């Protein structure tokens, strides 16, 4: 089972749920996508490349096919993977993203991150204090600050490729090909407090994924796997074993 994180996330975001799937029989691979986490940095960034990266990973580890779960950006990668290489995807789970174009909407995040001067910030508390001037939501700040690490003994930095991701924000909203279809089992999970998948998106989901079921996670926004992990796990695990 492969789990693909969202934009500016990393595999570690899925450690708790990944452990649950593993304890119940799945060999779980938590994958850092390019320009994120501990994966390589590259000036090239789009969903075809992100999908190809997963294929290279599968080939390298001699994995013929896998169950694939992707959240947000990772969900777009998973959709691209399933429609481009349907024989490599046993079942598809997409968390809170639809196969449509999303206008860029991360400007405020990059604006806040751009104010982190690591010449003058010596610890995470100082980074949070500075970031709080630009991003009021504590949960978003905590999510972003998980990307900080010690580049050197006394110097913090970002794990993600800040400059490339800032310059390629438009790619994050891109849709998969209009003619792309995956005819295998698919589950789309949406947060009841999220605006990412609306009822008027259901027909488009079904056009690309004719066997898809669409379910709602209660009391959850876009980070539905973190906001209601119990229900997220129950619905996804039931689908995987159906």
User: CA–CA distance from 156 to each of 12, 81, 181 (Å)?
Assistant: 18, 34, 43
222 is catalytic: yes
Q: Are strands 89-95 and 148-152 parallel, antiparallel or unpaired?
A: unpaired
Q: Is 242 among the catalytic positions? A: no
Of 114, 115, 163, 177, which one is the catalytic site residue? 163
Contact 189, 224 (CB under 8 A): yes
Catalytic residue among 72, 84, 194, 236: 72
Check if 72 is active-site.
yes
Q: Tell me which of 222, 225, 227, 236 is the catalytic residue.
A: 222
Nearest to 80 by CA among 47, 129, 39, 118: 47
Sequence-ordered list of residues with C-beta below 8 angstroms from that of 237, at least 6 positions apart, any chain: 20, 21, 24
Separation CA 25–CA 151 (nearest Å) = 36
Please, which residues have CB within 8 angstroms of residue 17's CB and are 6 or more apart in sequence? Answer: 3, 225, 229, 232, 233
On the 0-12 / 13-18 / 19+ scale of CB atoms within 10 A, 207 is middle
* Among 110, 155, 114, CA closest to 7: 110
Active centre residues (catalytic): 72, 163, 222
């Amino acid at each position: 089972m492969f789990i693909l994180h969202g934009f500016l996330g990393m595999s570690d975001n899925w450690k708790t749920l990944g452990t649950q799937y593993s304890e119940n029989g799945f060999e779980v691979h938590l994958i850092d996508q390019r320009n994120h986490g501990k994966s390589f940095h590259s000036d090239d960034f789009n969903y075809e490349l992100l999908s190809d990266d997963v294929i290279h990973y599968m080939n390298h580890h001699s994995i013929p096919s896998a169950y694939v779960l992707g959240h947000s950006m990772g969900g777009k990668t998973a959709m691209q993977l399933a429609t481009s290489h349907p024989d490599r995807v046993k079942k598809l789970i997409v968390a809170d993203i639809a196969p449509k174009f999303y206008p860029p909407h991360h400007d405020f995040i990059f604006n806040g991150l751009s104010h982190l001067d690591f010449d003058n910030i010596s610890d995470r508390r100082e980074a949070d204090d500075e970031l709080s001037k630009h991003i009021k939501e504590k949960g978003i700040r905590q999510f972003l600050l998980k990307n900080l690490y010690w580049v050197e003994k006394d110097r913090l930095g970002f794990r993600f490729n800040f400059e490339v991701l800032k310059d390629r924000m438009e790619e994050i909203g891109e849709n998969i090909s209009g003619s792309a279809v995956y005819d295998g089992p698919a589950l789309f999970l949406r947060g009841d407090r999220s605006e990412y998948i609306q009822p008027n998106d259901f027909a488009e989901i079904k056009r690309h994924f004719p066997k898809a079921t669409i379910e709602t996670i209660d009391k959850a926004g876009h980070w539905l796997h973190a906001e209601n992990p119990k229900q997220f796990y129950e619905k996804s695990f039931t689908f995987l074993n159906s």
